[in-house]
Structures are given as structure tokens and as C-alpha cells.
Amino acid sequence: MTAPGTAESLAAAAKERFGGLDFVITCAGFTWDVFFHRMTDEQWHAIIDVHLNGTYRVTHEAYKAMRAMAQQEREAGKTPTARKVVTVSSMSSFGNLGQANYAAAKAGIVGLTRAIALEGAMFNILANSVAYGPIDTRLTRPREEQHEQVGESQLGMPAAARAKYLSQIPMGRVGTIDEAVGPLLFLASSHANYVSGALLEVNGAAHIS
């Protein structure tokens, strides 16, 4: 997601293999947590680059292709097909300890997605974001029990911090990967053809407290 040309080749491959591009979901990323006073420029830029710039790169290429297809449909006198941009944000976008870089990137993704929703509306391009609470992946599993690393970042949460975090989730548990995928499929599907500019919170009721 950070390499030049990746987003362009993804959009081109979709058009070549499937004859068009109906939806895009941006999901790639990792965390590199540290308290703000210790955060290095490298940590800041790495997380902004993979999450915010990566989402920009992929949605930008996809959006241009979708808009061109919609324009062709309109010129042929047809209503443009509903096409979807779905981005992945986080509960951390509202701010989280040790995640200034990630919180900023995930909040930026929400703004970007809403702007795409507004500009895309007349082309029937719908854009929504999903803000997850803790989902059971290597980003949230106890750090002490796994050895997952991206670059210098040890993935996972310290067990004590994780227990405290989970105690703030009303449902009292992490979400499963299947439970995380469902909302993405809904937003990409025709069941969401009048849902745009939304931030869907998927967090075991944590937004209520």
C-alpha cells in the first residue's frame, strides 16, 4: 500500500479481469504504538503512510475509474450503477492512549470517506467507513502470547492494557473476524444502496457508554 504504482495496478487489474470496478475496500495496516512524548517521526510517518496515504492512494484510483464508468453510463442515458468505497477506521479515531499516529490516520480516513461520499453522490458512488472496536486479530491479541512484528513494531496489546480495554466494552469480549467482515459486505452490497457518508461503529456497544 505504500509502494508507488500499487494502487494504479490494482485498479487496472480489476478493470482487466472483471471488466469494471464495482467496489473497493481498504483494510491494510498495522499499529506502532508508543506514548506521544516518545513517538519518533518514523513512527508517525509509517502509520500515516500505510493507513491514511494508503487509503487515499487506493480509493483515489478506484474512484477515478468508478467515476469514468458512471459518466459513460450517464452519456448512454442510463442511471449509473451503484458503486461502493468502503474504508476501515477504528474506535481509536476518537483518540486512544499510545496511538496518536493511528488515531490521526483513522480520523483522517473518516473525513476522506465523507468527502468522497459528497463528491461521488451524483455518480452513484457511495462511500462509508467502518470504525471497529477490538477485533480478534494479531493487532489486539496479548503481545506476550504472540511474536507478530511489522518492522520494529511488536504487534498486539500488553495483556494488562488489553484486560482494562476489554472491561470498557459492554459486550465484554473482542469481536470475531466474521463479525468484522459482515458490515463490510453489507456496505459493499446492494443492501446499502442509500447509505453513504456513514460511520458504522462495530464495537460491542462501546459507543453507548
Residue 202 near ligand NAD by CB under 6 A: no
> Residue 139 CB, nearest distance to ligand NAD (Å)?
4
**185-204: buried (b, 16+ CB within 10 Å) or exposed (e) per residue?**
eebbeeebeeebbbebbbbb
Q: Are the CB atoms for 55 and 7 separated by under 8 Å?
A: no
Q: Give, in order, the Cα–Cα distances in Å from 186 to each of 29, 36, 141, 182, 190.
A: 22, 36, 26, 6, 8
Indicate which residues carry an active-site annotation.
Answer: 102
Question: How many residues form the binding site for ligand NAD (CB under 6 A)?
Answer: 16
Residue 94 near ligand NAD by CB under 6 A: no
> Residue 192 CB, nearest distance to ligand NAD (Å)?
19
Please give the residues from 134 up to 153 whose contact with ligand NAD meets the rule CB under 6 A.
Answer: 134-135, 137-140
Give the burial class of 179: count Cβ atoms within 10 A of its Cβ; 0-12 exposed, 13-18 middle, 19 or more buried.
Answer: middle
Residue 2 near ligand NAD by CB under 6 A: yes
The stretch among 22-30, 33-41, 160-168, 186-194 that binds ligand NAD (CB under 6 A) is 22-30
In the list 7, 47, 50, 116, the residue contacting ligand NAD (rule: CB under 6 A) is 50
Residue 27 near ligand NAD by CB under 6 A: yes
Dist CA 8 CA 74 (whole Å): 24
Residue 132 near ligand NAD by CB under 6 A: yes
Sheet order of strands, 199-202 included: 23-26, 83-90, 125-132, 199-202
Sites of contact with ligand NAD (CB under 6 A): 1-2, 27-30, 50, 88, 90, 132, 134-135, 137-140
